[in-house]
Structure 1
Amino acid sequence: MPESYWVESTATTSFPSLAQDITADVAVIGGGIAGLCVAWELSQAGRSVVVLEADRIAAAVTGNTTAKLSAQHTLIYARLRTSHGEQAARLYADSQQDAVEHACRIVADLGIDCDLERLPAYTYVESSEATEQITAEVDAARQAGLRACSVTETGLPFDVAAALRVENQAQFHPRKFLLGLVRQMTHDGARVYERTRVMGLEEGRPCRLACENGTTVTAADVVVATHYPIFDRALLFSRLQTKRELVVAAPIPPEQDPGGMYVTTEHNTRSIRTTPYRDGQRLLIVTGEIAEPGSGDAGERFRRLAAWTRERFAGTQISHRWAAQDNATTDHLPYVGHLHPGAEHAYVATGFSGWGMSNGIMSGKLISALITGHDLPWAGLYDPRRLHPLREAGPIAKLQAKAARHFIGDRLRSSHADSIDDVAPGSGAIVRIGGRRCALYRDTAGVVHAISATCTHLGCIVAFNQAEQTWECPCHGSRFGTDGAVLHGPATQPLEPIDLDIL
């Protein structure tokens, strides 16, 4: 499994699993940037907090991010101004820039060594036909209150037709930042439990969480910060689209550093930044090749991204590769607030659309304010209970059609391989055996591992990701190991093992 630089360059955490029933003021489900920032803010507000992470904190989606900390989110402001109005665009800019400044203050106050750098952020286009997009975005971003301007010269080693530049943004090492927060808040009394998967939520006064190992957590308030919500009662799965982006990285000498953070929607998205690396070098990090989980082998897309990087940054040798996953909402704004219309003590943070650093930090402040009874001006903008039927009807219908297409269409195919013998070492395939669809993986020693091909979330058929050696659900993005273990929700149950001898 490819490992990100952020994970490789930091020590593995080893918090205990929950071994007995406990109580707290607030229970946070999920130990990524959103969950840990919520826990941090509430801990600072004097609440007793417990964090429950299914695996290791700051290691899943957060551990595989590009880690840009920016209010400049590609072409968001022109879109928001058109679809939601000028006030919504300004509130979005205010909340995102507030998150950038808040993170920088925390780093300074706690003295966290997390490679924080203040740099400009750019959205660029190479095609002259696309320059009008930049012009519109510059105007919208400036109207929203950001320090934005249009430029044609950048630090990139290739020409651009136009670029939006926004000043005073930041980048950092996300795990170093979050582990610094965790050190301080656990010192102050917050509790963190790893390898503790939450399976059920009973809302009430108080709320109760049922964990996989039979333990129970009782809390006045619960925050679901699992990236994709693991509870379907809010029906957010009908309003969230999952995407997967690949990342490659290569050491470069400091004189080749482009001196900023860059993104373009061209070439199936290319996002570029650097970070301090070994021996005085910089590590160039390039993200792109967006695709849906389960859409096919990522190997070719990794090759395309690596080839583009070597072409644009001559002489680079790829040293790392990994992948990140994110969710986008049907109206392009995150869901941060009450979990569903009837919720009083359950909250959610999701739908960050590739900008999880600023949105995770924003979520920490917003949910803390909601729980402690304070007002933030952008609370209504992100409220998950909002629904704009005219604006969202098309995207929602498209998402449901895609899920239905996979749910029904994948079952109509006889199999993805004709027999067990067709599954090569180091690969996986769906094979119908004894009338049952089996997800078969043959390891490099030739041993076949058989599990159910039916996702335990809502029953879609999984597909094999050859490059990452995982099973993925094409409907809602759940990911599983070759042994069926849950790697990424919304699924909470593993894929069922199958004994081929009795089929």
Structure 2
Amino acid sequence: MMTESSFETFPQFPESYWLASTELPSFSKLHSDLKVDATIVGAGITGITTAYLLANQGFKVVIVDAGQIMNGTTGHTTAKITAQHDLIYQEYLAHFGREKTKLYYDANLEALQFIKQTVKTNHIQCQLSDEDAYIYTTSDEYVEKIASEYRVYQELGITSRYVDQAPLPFSTKAAIVMENQAQFNPVPFLTFLVEQFIRKGGQIYEQTTVSGVEKGKPAVVKTKDGHRITTDYVVSASHFPFNDRNGFYFTKLHAERSYAVVGKISKDIPNGMFLSAESPKRSLRSVQINGESMLLIGGEGHKTGQALCTFQYYDALKSFGEGTFGLKDIAYRWSAQDLYTLDNMPYIGQELKDEPNIFVATGFRKWGMTSSVVAALLNSKLILGEPSPYQELFSPSRFKADPSVKTFIMQNANVAKHLIAGKLEMVHKDVDDLQKDEGAVVKVNGKRAGAYRDHEGALHLVDTTCTHMGCEVDWNEAERTWDCPCHGSRYSYEGEVIEGPAKKSLGKVH
């Protein structure tokens, strides 16, 4: 638990620098039926890039989002553009073989080059800078793992180096370097794509929740408010697929949260982007804020809804920054949600084999800047009827016995455990015990309820049963949200859906 003095060193509310740095365009809610060539559900980097590519090919495209554009994981990223996705290549080599592992690297390298070229050609001011990406270790246990990963890099022909000491102000045992990667601010980049998309006749609707889709060609996308979008193609780019029960994604994905702080440091900002091999993870990169160089520190991942005190993760990042870089004056803090597949490979492409006009993109495992562009490039090609070497690799209908079966069993056992535990949990907190700006699970009329008392003292009471599949949500102190430990749905303190797979708000308690 954070002390009162340490809490005071943080911004009171979470805020992403990326979203604060750029004035976003706003769009109205959908108020009528539509007929288009393609419907993109989700206005993050995946959906916006997909829509941009299809509009460039003359498609009539609409994007609908349940909230505001870029306000999901896209706006809360560390914004590293790299094919170095942790120590993943050795694992992929064992599970998928050399050819598919090389395809994974090639797909992400292509995405990196797409972003770089788009920025360069259009002179987009988004703080894009070429950087080497490092995975480092301070533990003897991980030295051989890094050496093994480097050998896979060499086998795949990845431009890389192995060093003992990374350019960091503390001692490292080993590091692997993937050269010529990049970092940027994704919001001005995507704002440019949105402007071009609108110029080509594209439409965007915010605050428009999709409730389902009627299959067929054309398909019909249905909204929560009863409107219908008749469309030849549908792309689910909504992070957690909006029609998750269609492909049983709630059994094949799990959600994790991670955290970031940005602030001034007393030491020189190192050149490069850095990630620790061991846990707890430490992700490092520089950020330019008002002409001043600051350090972004990310990490501290855990399964959504399965943490007792979420402030402890911000405090851990702060303590690490103070001890290693002389971190001071934290300017921003935020958290993000990421989805993991059973085999750690994203699901991208045709959702089901018998539904050739419905596509999905999910499971980016904290590496959404390149994976999202991989998804946009692949799904737009498939819609255009063009071949892609990556189609089979990312196919959502794949199911590998190793490691998918074991992960499937463990993941769904974890869901069952939390479903049962939430129903049996003893609640001892009383509504009258809550201070201002405090939330907790309480008992109201003998039943479990969620309560938050805001800064003015007003009480907000909600039913804690998640509207997705009936698990019990818990209070997220650092974000002031209700989070589901089963499938990662998140709600505001008033019960409104922030993040799916849930589509309906939590019930009100009086």
Interval of TM-score (by shorter of Structure 1 and Structure 2): over 0.9
For the pair 1:489 / 2:480, whether they are aligned, the reply is no
What is the match of residue 434 of structure 1? 445
State the alpha-carbon separation in 1 of the partners of residues 430 and 264 from structure 2.
44
Superposed counterparts of 1:229-240, under 5 Å: 229-231=241-243, 232-240=245-253
For the pair 1:419 / 2:451, whether they are aligned, the reply is no
Per-residue CA distance 1:184-213 (angstroms, 9 max, x = gap): 111111111111111121111111111122
What is the match of residue 482 of structure 2? 471
State the alpha-carbon separation in 1 of the partners of residues 265 and 318 from structure 2.
14
What is the match of residue 300 of structure 2? 289
What is the match of residue 285 of structure 2? 273
Q: Is the 8 A contact 2:260 2:297 kept in 1?
A: yes
Q: Is the 8 A contact 1:13 1:56 kept in 2?
A: no
Per-residue CA distance 1:149-179 (angstroms, 9 max, x = gap): 2012322111111000011101110111111
Q: Is the 8 A contact 1:260 1:273 kept in 2?
A: yes
For the pair 1:367 / 2:379, whether they are aligned, the reply is yes
Q: Is the 8 A contact 1:17 1:194 kept in 2?
A: yes
* Aligned partner (choices 19, 22, 28) of residue 16 of structure 1: 28
What is the match of residue 250 of structure 1? 263
Q: Is the 8 A contact 1:23 1:218 kept in 2?
A: yes
For the pair 1:187 / 2:202, whether they are aligned, the reply is no
Aligned residue pairs, count: 496
What is the match of residue 325 of structure 1? 337
State the alpha-carbon separation in 2 of the partners of residues 336 and 214 from structure 1.
28
Q: Greater shift after overlay, 25-34 or 244-253?
A: 244-253
SS at match of 1:344: strand
SS at match of 2:328: coil
Q: Is the 8 A contact 2:166 2:174 kept in 1?
A: no
State the alpha-carbon separation in 1 of the partners of residues 276 and 90 from structure 2.
15
State the alpha-carbon separation in 2 of the partners of residues 62 and 390 from structure 1.
31
What is the match of residue 146 of structure 2? 134
User: 1:390, CA displacement in angstroms?
Assistant: 4.1
Q: Is the 8 A contact 2:142 2:278 kept in 1?
A: no
What is the match of residue 231 of structure 2? 219
Q: Is the 8 A contact 1:37 1:363 kept in 2?
A: no
How high is the TM-score relative to the length of structure 2?
A: 0.95
SS at match of 2:216: coil
How high is the TM-score relative to the length of structure 1?
A: 0.96
Q: Greater shift after overlay, 126-135 or 463-472?
A: 126-135
Q: Is the 8 A contact 1:225 1:350 kept in 2?
A: yes
Q: In percent, how many aligned pairs have the same letter?
A: 35
User: 1:58, CA displacement in angstroms?
Assistant: 1.1
State the alpha-carbon separation in 1 of the partners of residues 138 and 441 from structure 2.
41
SS at match of 1:379: coil
The residue identity in structure 1 corresponding to 2:406 is G
The residue identity in structure 2 corresponding to 1:329 is T
Q: Is the 8 A contact 1:124 1:162 kept in 2?
A: yes
What is the match of residue 59 of structure 1? 71
What is the match of residue 405 of structure 1? 417
User: 1:339, CA displacement in angstroms?
Assistant: 1.6
SS at match of 1:26: strand
Q: Where in structure 2 are there 5+ consecutive unaligned residues?
A: 1-12
Per-residue CA distance 1:47-85 (angstroms, 9 max, x = gap): 111100111111211000000000111101011011111
For the pair 1:309 / 2:321, whether they are aligned, the reply is yes
SS at match of 1:339: strand
What is the match of residue 300 of structure 1? 312
The residue identity in structure 1 corresponding to 2:477 is Q
SS at match of 1:31: coil
User: 1:425, CA displacement in angstroms?
Assistant: 2.4
State the alpha-carbon separation in 2 of the partners of residues 435 and 388 from structure 1.
46
State the alpha-carbon separation in 1 of the partners of residues 395 and 58 from structure 2.
25
State the alpha-carbon separation in 1 of the partners of residues 51 and 305 from structure 2.
33
What is the match of residue 241 of structure 1? 254
Q: Greater shift after overlay, 337-346 or 217-226?
A: 337-346
Superposed counterparts of 1:159-170, under 5 Å: 159-170=171-182
Distance 1:164 1:347, change over 3 A: same
What value does the CA root-mean-square deviation take over the aligned residues?
Answer: 1.4
Q: Is the 8 A contact 1:40 1:364 kept in 2?
A: no
Per-residue CA distance 1:97-151 (angstroms, 9 max, x = gap): 1100011111122221111111110111011221101111111122223102201
